[in-house]
Structure 1
Amino acid sequence: MKKKITIIGSGFSALAASCYLAKSGHQVTVFEKNAAIGGRARQLKKDGFTFDMGPSWYWMPDVFERFFFDFDKKTTDYYELIKLSPAYRVYYAVDDFIAIADNLPDIIFAFEAIEKGSGKILNEFMAEAKSNYDIAIKKLVYRPGVSPLELVTKETALKMGQFFTNISKEIRKKFKNERLIQILEFPVLFLGAKPSDTPSFYSFMNYADFGLGTWHPKTGMFDVVRAMESLAIELGVTFETNSNIEKIIVENKVAKAIVVNGGTIASDLILSGADYHHTETLLDKEHRAYSEKYWESRVFAPSSLLFYVGFDKKIENISHHALFFDVDFYQHAKDIYDEPQWPKQPLFYANFPSLTDTTAAPEGMESGFFLIPLAPGITDTEELREEYFNKIMDRFETLTKQSVKNNIIFKQSFCKNDFVSEYNSFKGNAYGMANTLLQTAFLRPKLKSKKVKNLYFTGQLTVPGPGVPPALISGKLVSELINKQFLEQ
């Protein structure tokens, strides 16, 4: 039976859900508070430069293919993918960096050159990581987090010990070189927690990295947003931007309507892809499933200080993705998770999309995206932003042996306060709730409201968790729960 469904927000999970629900025959309208769709994956265009404002890594291409296949489509129907070679560089000092190749044999060779015997160990480690990937991404993450029994399978029974040790400990048993250890620990940072707090089963992220490679949609991650929007429109979804949701109206414990820009819009069912905590503040207190104490007790992924920078020349000695690990990796992690504060010496990430995409910057110029992970809820001021920009740019100039600060013709920052104002993000977090052992699968906030009928949630604070591929999966999972409810009525 055709239902009128309202979706709040237009990030990846909401876009995915809109497609699945429209395919099932429902009348779907997506309401986005900002002027453009995409949520954190919006695009910034200024002075001839183009930036992806949020996600910039295209990992797990099989998950994207699986999404479009559900609609008898392929990614190539909408956008072109380029495999990056090298996938990324990791910088440690002047003239000292490691380039991660676009294939596992070359990565194994590079490891062996740095630590004798590590090549064979890496090959064995990657075989285990691939096994975990096949279990996690092909099976476990497509389960809705309703019951702990979802994790109990013949395959996971053999891996159970990996849920009770951490990936940092397991990597350190196998490798001694600190740089190789950091490279192997890096991928789980996408899950929003320290490697020492992340179950070793999550080594499947290493397979996503070394095994499947790093890709780039031809003109940026916003290509994926455009593709999903096109698919949604083909399926009959309607989009309403500049539409701020002020309240969710509940009658007799049933979600009935939303208040948008002062007007009331009735609906048979409401699905929120907006921040979970924020969405619950749109409800009267008695209808909220999770208390403020609950949210305060959760481990959240970091916030970020982002800079979108236009240079009036081409930048040398860089790669499309670059990690700057020239300072203490573990001290920065402590400054995020253990003793939240602005890091004295921040690690940072840089992305130069114009190396791959000539449309990202005017001819002869370069677009650069810089990111510093920060503790959520931290103090955010313009003075601190500028101080930290100068810190990382000084190091960037030293490590890449060039002067660039005087070549900046455009710069825009985005930090904790903007995550709150633009996305209603709890404490200004950038990636959602961390995937620690006690915040995995059925232990995450539920897709279906426990207190209000016909109210559902999707996105990075619920299952499966942070990241773009999990967001696509979250949209699929919640749409299946919704359709199941309608069938049972």
Structure 2
Amino acid sequence: MIKQKNKISIIGSGFSSISAACYMAKYGYEVTVYEKNNTVGGRARQYLNEGFTFDIGPTWYWMPDVFEKFFADFGKKPSDYYELEKLSPAYQVYFGKQDSITIPDNLEDICEVFEKEEKGSSKHLMNFMNSARDNYDIAVKDMVYKPGVSALELVTPKTAVRVNQFFSTIRQQVRKKIKSKKLIQILEFPVLFLGAKPSNTPAFYNFMNYADFSLGTWHPKGGMYKVIEGMVSLAKEMGVTFVTNASVTKINLDSKSNVKSIQVNDKEIETSLLLSGADYHHTESLLDQSYRQYTERYWSKKIFAPSSLLFYIGFNKKIKNVEHHTLFFDADFDTHAVTIYDDPSWPENPLFYASFPSITDESFAPEGKEAGTFLIPLAPGIEDTQELREKYFNIIIERLEKLTNQTVRDSILFKESYCVNDFIKDYNSYKGNAYGLANILTQTAFLRPKLKSKKVNNLYFTGQLTVPGPGVPPSLISGKVASELILKTRR
């Protein structure tokens, strides 16, 4: 057995794990991160092929202030590690053939877009955005940094006057004044990052609209993986060790319900603390049954954010009539959402998203070519076969060609797919979910799985299945909150 004192072992190397590793190193711990795959980054890995680069996981860079706050905690800035560009326009939304709305990079111009689509809507938008700004200040500057220990964390003078916003929904709030179906879809879109339907998401979460329209959409040059590389560089500067191809297969306890060691491949490694940024359900499966907090029944009743079918495609020409981020909302969202949340199944006519980062960043594709990432949100746990993947590939390529008025199929150099089975294989993801637990009212804050195990004294968790929830900025915050809780409870 390898023995080390005052050592914390971290399982997984996604955003939350690397964030936690940095904070724990700052607090004086000897930190080792164990990653089962051959590269760090968790879901935020890269796929390289024939001179093309693809972000396998996250492609949106929102809430730049959260990244700035993270690096500032270590006397650094994002620009010390990667270069950011604000996207202009932010993104484009298709509603039908050659029928799209392009979202500019500032609120003043967005108001003009709204007014052009629906007279008088810009006034309603500004009222909505004022509320969204206030909620952002409360949520992202305070509430999301709470450890989810008690319901009292949510009770403050500022939240008390907004209690009605927790019991009404984004959908109700948006549709109260705006009538245009297109504008409604644009305003309801950001909460999809929280992994839930607008009809199930508290109105308080309109702060995501502030992140969208006011803070803007950004692109790290070289992709989201550059953020991972920057965080890893920071962690290594602070003495953190990363071990790849290191699968943790068992958590061993002593007679006092403490983690004494972990089984990593064929070695038993002693540790004084264990923090898991891996899938929460999977991590508990590494414990003997009596030490697991949550039963299979518990997990089966939770509302999970979607899984995804993704395609990474290399085109031998530039794609026309699209932006860096392009959303295809020409299908009915509610019908698609039923197949994700209510009746898990493959959607007949799916909405989908496409990213063409090589429009902005020439490093993503050889000259004159285009890198395209396509995503269809799906219910976790559904059947995943090569035949189904191919069927839906054909559906979205035909839609892309029709909506953007061009032929692209004969320009495909290669394609690679990624779906439910891959999320399970690569990340031990529960039912192959891509984003964690949906942020609905009954799964918010203290109602999410706990950061600290109730049955194992020195076992902690971080990441998208615990607080604050899905998304890259929340993952950075989760790493910090988990670390602060460790420091508080281990004094």
TM-score, reference length from structure 2 = 0.98
**Secondary structure of the structure 2 residue equivalent to 1:265:** strand
Within 5 Å, give how 1:31-430 maps onto structure 2. 31-252=34-255, 253-430=257-434
In 1: Cα distance, 2:390 partner to 2:290 partner: 43
In 1: Cα distance, 2:339 partner to 2:279 partner: 24
- Residue 250 of structure 1: CA displacement? 1.1
**Secondary structure of the structure 1 residue equivalent to 2:450:** coil
**Secondary structure of the structure 2 residue equivalent to 1:41:** coil
Contact persistence 1:311–1:410 (CA under 8 A) = yes
- Residue 135 of structure 1: CA displacement? 0.2
Look up the equivalent residue of 2:21 and give its one-letter code.
S
Look up the equivalent residue of 2:134 and give its one-letter code.
S
Structure 1 residue runs of 5 or longer lacking an equivalent are none
In 2: Cα distance, 1:269 partner to 1:25 partner: 13
**Secondary structure of the structure 1 residue equivalent to 2:162:** helix
Q: How many residues align?
A: 487
Q: Deviations over 1:393-444 (max 9, x none)?
A: 0010011111111111121000000000000000000000000000000000
- Residue 116 of structure 1: CA displacement? 1.0
Q: Deviations over 1:451-479 (max 9, x none)?
A: 00100000000000000000000000010
Contact persistence 2:5–2:272 (CA under 8 A) = no
In 2: Cα distance, 1:50 partner to 1:371 partner: 16
In 2: Cα distance, 1:259 partner to 1:265 partner: 6
In 1: Cα distance, 2:356 partner to 2:426 partner: 24
- Residue 182 of structure 1: CA displacement? 0.6
**Secondary structure of the structure 1 residue equivalent to 2:368:** coil
Tell me the percent identity.
Answer: 65
Contact persistence 1:304–1:415 (CA under 8 A) = yes
Match of 2:469 in 1: 465
**Secondary structure of the structure 1 residue equivalent to 2:490:** helix
In 2: Cα distance, 1:385 partner to 1:71 partner: 44
In 2: Cα distance, 1:470 partner to 1:328 partner: 29
Within 5 Å, give how 1:8-23 maps onto structure 2. 8-23=11-26
Contact persistence 2:5–2:271 (CA under 8 A) = no
- Residue 486 of structure 1: CA displacement? 2.5
- Residue 339 of structure 1: CA displacement? 1.1
Match of 1:443 in 2: 447
Structure 2 residue runs of 5 or longer lacking an equivalent are none
Q: Deviations over 1:77-130 (max 9, x none)?
A: 111100001100000112210000000011111111111110011011000000
In 1: Cα distance, 2:76 partner to 2:104 partner: 30
Superposition misfits of 4+ residues, deviation over 2 angstroms? none
- Residue 2 of structure 1: CA displacement? 7.2
Look up the equivalent residue of 2:37 and give its one-letter code.
N
- Residue 256 of structure 1: CA displacement? 1.0
In 1: Cα distance, 2:322 partner to 2:170 partner: 29
